[in-house]
Amino acid sequence: MRKRFLIDTSVILDNPDNLYSLSSDGENSVYITNIVLEELDRKKMERANIGFFARAFFRIFIGSAAKTSAKLKGESKEGDRFYEFSCDQGGEKGKLKIVVIHRENYDEQNDRNDLKILEVAKSYNLNLITNDISFKIIALTRGVKSELFSEDTVSDYKTLEFFHKAGVNNPNASKTEWAQYEETDENGRPRFYIEVGGHKEEQRFDKLYENNALIVAPHNLEQKFMLNVLTHPQNKVTAISGSTGSGKTLMALQAGLILCEQEIVDGIVYLRNTVEAVTSAERLGYRAGDEERKLSYFMYPLFSAINLIIEELRKKSLKNAIEYSGDVNTMESKAATKRFMEKNNIEMVDLAHARGVTISRKFVIFDEAQNASIADVKLLGTRLGKGSRIVFLGDLEQVDNPYLTQDRNGLVTLLKKAHISDFVAGVQLRNTIRSDISRWFGQNL
């Protein structure tokens, strides 16, 4: 049965290719309003994927000029004009027809763009497709059929397991090579393993403590597995979920320092997905300071991890205390923090600047990946050159991006891949180590 979809701006800014999925090679009708066109036009100059996808949307219509046409399909009683665009990109994308509904005069009570889009949906009994959860709820309360864009949803994310005990039946446990498991030897002692390249490898966690670059020791079994997996010679891509205060960023940074010490990589690149405020005055570009200063507003997890390491270094020797004298601050980069970053070749990078560059021989830490779209993850992954490896970190219980959900975001998609693919390693940290207070709030509220 042919379906008729009215597409919200959020679906296009997630990825314009979503239109091809909804069209299903022309089987379904895809509509947008002139309001959406105007919103995309305003977004086209923005940085990162928002601006790129806004521009990519308009290129859909001119990418194959000989096969693209637009024609006036008529007018409705309300005075709306319908323009049909027929696009054939060929290949896997196939055919796409988009009907633009242009309404000149909207109801004066509908003074917001989302309400104008709903007005059109109600006029023609169209099914609104959006990534905005609140918009969907508003639509339903106004009698408009609405769905969240559901492609790439991971409905079973809470059941994904990467650690299991041998001999214990766990249908949700990953069977991939990087899965972590425990066996009991003939003396009743637990031993821990991963299987890589078809070979069973016992995890000798004691060897971690022999490494000169180990400054902050892992606190529990989860963190030990995390460090072993991240520093394994054959591992290139890792997805790690962890509760608040479980030490994700700290252990990832420690892994990067070990890889640098072993000369496997030349430095560390840290990115954190920045979910900005809605009001323009609070956006990153309006903050005080130069570009580095603006970026540092979002990098406090990195500074916090570095400063914890600096505290441990100061305890180890007078030489370290002198080298890293000066202020540290968990919310911004101070003298000692900056010295540590320079010495260990740690860079902060804005995701907006990742497009078009190649990142070679670096250990890349992408923090807050639960707030990144699948397109963001793909963007960064395709920027990695030879010798680089990457870890995606995040807490699936703290999705702040209004257009993403716990079961649809970049991190949960990678975790699902890790559960079934040998190419991506998956690790879960469930124990809070930050403090008893942090643990209580994470578990009880």
Q: What is the CATH number of the domain that holds 108?
A: 3.40.50.1010
Q: What is the pLDDT of residues 351-381, one digit of tens each?
A: 877 877 899 999 999 999 999 999 899 989 9
Task: State whether 130 and 268 are in the same domain.
Answer: no
Task: State whether 120 and 171 are in the same domain.
Answer: no
pLDDT at residue 227 is higher than 80: yes
Among 121, 148, 175, identify where a domain stops. Answer: 148
Task: State whether 162 and 118 are in the same domain.
Answer: no
pLDDT at residue 157 is higher than 80: yes
Task: State whether 52 and 90 are in the same domain.
Answer: yes
Task: State whether 124 and 32 are in the same domain.
Answer: yes
Q: What is the mean pLDDT of residues 317-346?
A: 81
Which CATH number goes with the domain that contains 377?
3.40.50.300
* 219 found inside a domain: yes
Q: What is the pLDDT of residues 10-55, one digit of tens each?
A: 999 999 989 999 998 888 999 999 999 999 999 988 866 788 899 9
Model confidence band, residue 345 (pLDDT cutoffs 50, 70, 90): very high
* 309 found inside a domain: no
Task: State whether 143 and 186 are in the same domain.
Answer: no
Model confidence band, residue 288 (pLDDT cutoffs 50, 70, 90): very low
Q: What is the pLDDT of residues 387-427, one digit of tens each?
A: 999 999 999 999 988 889 999 999 999 999 999 999 999 99
Percentage of the residues of the chain whose pLDDT score is greater than 70: 85
* 293 found inside a domain: no
Q: What is the mean pLDDT of residues 221-233?
A: 96
pLDDT at residue 69 is higher than 70: no
Domain that holds residue 433: 157-274+350-444
Q: What is the pLDDT of residues 120-137, one digit of tens each?
A: 999 999 999 999 999 999
Among 127, 148, 169, identify where a domain stops. Answer: 148
User: What is the value of pTM for the model shown?
Assistant: 0.86
Task: State whether 131 and 198 are in the same domain.
Answer: no
d(C-alpha 305, C-alpha 311), whole Å: 10
* 284 found inside a domain: no
Task: State whether 265 and 133 are in the same domain.
Answer: no
Domain count, the chain: 2
* 188 found inside a domain: yes
Task: State whether 143 and 163 are in the same domain.
Answer: no
Task: State whether 237 and 381 are in the same domain.
Answer: yes
| Average pLDDT value over all residues in the chain | 86
Model confidence band, residue 223 (pLDDT cutoffs 50, 70, 90): very high
Q: What is the pLDDT of residue 229?
A: 97
* 300 found inside a domain: no
Among 100, 126, 148, identify where a domain stops. Answer: 148
Model confidence band, residue 294 (pLDDT cutoffs 50, 70, 90): low
Q: What is the mean pLDDT of residues 302-319?
A: 90
* 335 found inside a domain: no
Q: Name which of 45-54, 99-108, 237-246, 259-268 the model is least confident about.
A: 45-54
Q: What is the mean pLDDT of residues 265-293?
A: 60
Task: State whether 161 and 249 are in the same domain.
Answer: yes
* 216 found inside a domain: yes
Task: State whether 171 and 62 are in the same domain.
Answer: no
pLDDT at residue 7 is higher than 90: yes
